[in-house]
Structure 1
């Protein structure tokens, strides 16, 4: 019943409801595959470029400052456009915005691969990040729109698998491409690999993705341009010092946190006024009165602070400290990706039965796995450390598979489909902020300990900070479980969703 309602009114090309009888179109799983491939491309480009930096430096004679922006420029543009893109998809149509973002991402990838100077590459990476920010919130919104109940959990489980794999196999994929194509020009194929995938996805998206029932022509003022401006400048002021923590010397960068706080406070005030006047805000602040949503966003922010920083310091330790090649470093991290891929599917299916306790179990497993990784590096120093950390990283990956997708399902479970894009964009923005903060915090401890304790000691201390973020997210999960028990209810809110499944 709820699932039929979620697709009511979407007849026509790309619809997932057969005309006249309300029967679900089985092509929704094919449409999900298109979304997942596009999501894999955008998330892979966050991590795959790490191992390509030496090749880029050789091929383009790129200065260190430009290399930093090849990485951080993509992350900044990606994070800044998530919320506005989610709102645009809700208003104008998710398929339309998805296809526009995918076309721009594919063209920007071609421009990155063809770059003849470091400035060219940095600008192309900024555009590529913008395009990734357009695509990403449409994926979670389309899952909300196309699926409900246990099927939605399965779909988010598949998306969680993609998140885990794309983050972890980036270094391995980059290493393989560079080894195959050569150190001088191999970096270009890190970007060119997106071209056939992007072209195929674009053709399939037009055929398979559903329309957005509530979408229609919109005026620019209906997209809350002042809210977008306040949010964009506030988020930029907040993210920039963290993203550039290692490259921007001195403490002056932290002064940007003051205007960030002012701008974000002004944004909250403006959005509250929009709601009272009946204007559609870029972020519906009433969502943060829903406990499953705001707790899930906070948990994701803290978890991604620990989760993504693991790959940052592990790659540094293996390549710079132990002199592993890019391919060897990628292979050493692969057990985490395998564990995440194995657990994410079952996690998506089981979240409707177990709810938040499943996420708590996953977070506990991640913390134990990372602690064991630090112990393994301590017990097996030297080049054997990559083998020693394989089993603990596999355990941490299994736990991660029970965190990312189930938490996303629970966080969005009570979100109305009409605002699924902006809600998903807000959640993913929290993840990007968490990643930036985590890499800055873990990286600062890592580099501070490097001179005193060597590479192994620096890695140990960095992992301790990463585990601290994971434990903080675990405490948030435990608080949610305790709150539900006090209310006397059981957890399976992802099965009986109610209003969240109703199309506008």
Structure 2
């Protein structure tokens, strides 16, 4: 599990660590705005595309070899990104890096399901939740530190180089420590190539207009989202038909399980708000208040610390408190974000980083009580043989939520900025959208709690 967590940390870190390095990358390689967008969003796009097929393949053929292959590909792609000499090279490396990360991540949650009994999974899922929270929140800090140490011209390259030695060690230790599966125990049924193709096309059509929202002007791009709905409807129809003849790519019956269906909904909308916080806040600090990359990274550290501590605690107590723990976490996140808005209003100017320490800490504590318990509760009733694909579907929802949140929050942020030129007001407006995403997640969690209590009160027949 140590090897799996290190790999999960590296792959999720690369979602956010590039944010603070974008100005340096643009200056060094002379990237256009569109190319810069692909460096940032292309990773998330290919990450989301391969999650479910990779999870299903790991379920059927054994997780160790799939994990090692994905981690090796991620390490090589990181090295290639670090030595990039032009825009196309860097964008291609990031696309490959994202796809490799999508291969690795489903195996991590699948290994937890495989190696631990249901009552024991709270603690490892607690560690995984801390990894998710820390990697996302600490990315800007680590990126800023590397740029500060190695300079603006070459510091951005070390953001990718740092993955290479860690990845090589993790590959070697993974081959030695992660249990394999006997050849005779591997599933030999078809891996549902048609389902893989339909899901891949549907997710691609859905994510592409979201990641290109600021680059493609006009409303025509949203026709791709409409096409995605049609393709994904075809995927659902195919999976229902295919399930009667073999093992389908996604077990649609899982969504009839209340804990899984509502838990996936919580993850979708929470990640829509959670990750967009760092996108707009680092823009406010660096471009609006003239913070350095390191200072901007330090300003979001309270969120990371709160998230890490609460995630570890949440993993220990989730089996005792259940879904109400997630509701408590979401309420703390809303309170922390409202407090952040108030702090920026009361302390304008460069004092923003100090003024928001406490509210961001509160929001971080809430986040730690959401991610870990929600992951544990959502996967609690999933059969181990489908753990990889079920966890992958959960992560696809999180990636879609992330892209949707950044697109919606970014649109409000930049439209407000173009209107009156106020960075603080633009952040305030975008934060209202972020809070709206969290509130929808809260509604889903409350629905699950209410349904659970109603079920407990029914007389036993």
TM-score (norm 2): 0.97
Matched residue, 2:383: 416
1:452-497 alpha-carbon deviations (Å, 9 max, x no partner): 441111111111111111111111111100001111179xxxxxxx
Matched residue, 1:327: 294
The answer to whether the Cα contact below 8 Å between 1:83 and 1:429 also exists between their aligned partners in 2 is yes
* 204, 220, 238: which one aligns with 1:236: 204
The SS at the match of 1:282 is coil
Matched residue, 1:54: 23
1:354-397 alpha-carbon deviations (Å, 9 max, x no partner): 00000000000000000100111111111111111111000000
* In structure 2, distance between residues paired with 1:481 and 1:420: 24
* In structure 2, distance between residues paired with 1:263 and 1:282: 15
Please state if 1:141 is matched with 2:110.
yes
Please state if 1:257 is matched with 2:257.
no
The answer to whether the Cα contact below 8 Å between 2:268 and 2:397 also exists between their aligned partners in 1 is yes
* 96, 104, 112: which one aligns with 2:65: 96
* 388, 397, 401: which one aligns with 2:368: 401
Distance 1:215 1:130, change over 3 A: farther
Distance 1:282 1:413, change over 3 A: same
The SS at the match of 1:186 is helix
Please state if 1:63 is matched with 2:32.
yes
Alignment of 1:18-417 (within 5 A): 32-212=1-181, 222-277=190-245, 279-417=246-384
Distance 1:213 1:291, change over 3 A: farther
The SS at the match of 1:403 is helix
The SS at the match of 1:433 is helix
Displacement of 1:215 in angstroms is: 7.5
Displacement of 1:64 in angstroms is: 2.0
Where do 5+ consecutive residues of structure 1 fail to align? 1-31, 491-504
Distance 1:380 1:41, change over 3 A: same
Displacement of 1:448 in angstroms is: 1.6
* In structure 2, distance between residues paired with 1:488 and 1:364: 24
* In structure 2, distance between residues paired with 1:43 and 1:470: 21
- Count of residues in correspondence between the two structures: 457
Displacement of 1:216 in angstroms is: 5.2
* In structure 1, distance between residues paired with 2:156 and 2:184: 40
The answer to whether the Cα contact below 8 Å between 1:149 and 1:352 also exists between their aligned partners in 2 is no
Displacement of 1:150 in angstroms is: 3.9
* In structure 2, distance between residues paired with 1:267 and 1:149: 31
Task: Compare the two structures and name the one with the higher helix fraction.
Answer: 2
Displacement of 1:223 in angstroms is: 1.1
Where do 5+ consecutive residues of structure 2 fail to align? none
* In structure 1, distance between residues paired with 2:231 and 2:185: 31
* In structure 1, distance between residues paired with 2:444 and 2:162: 39
Let me know the Cα RMSD of the aligned residues.
Answer: 1.4
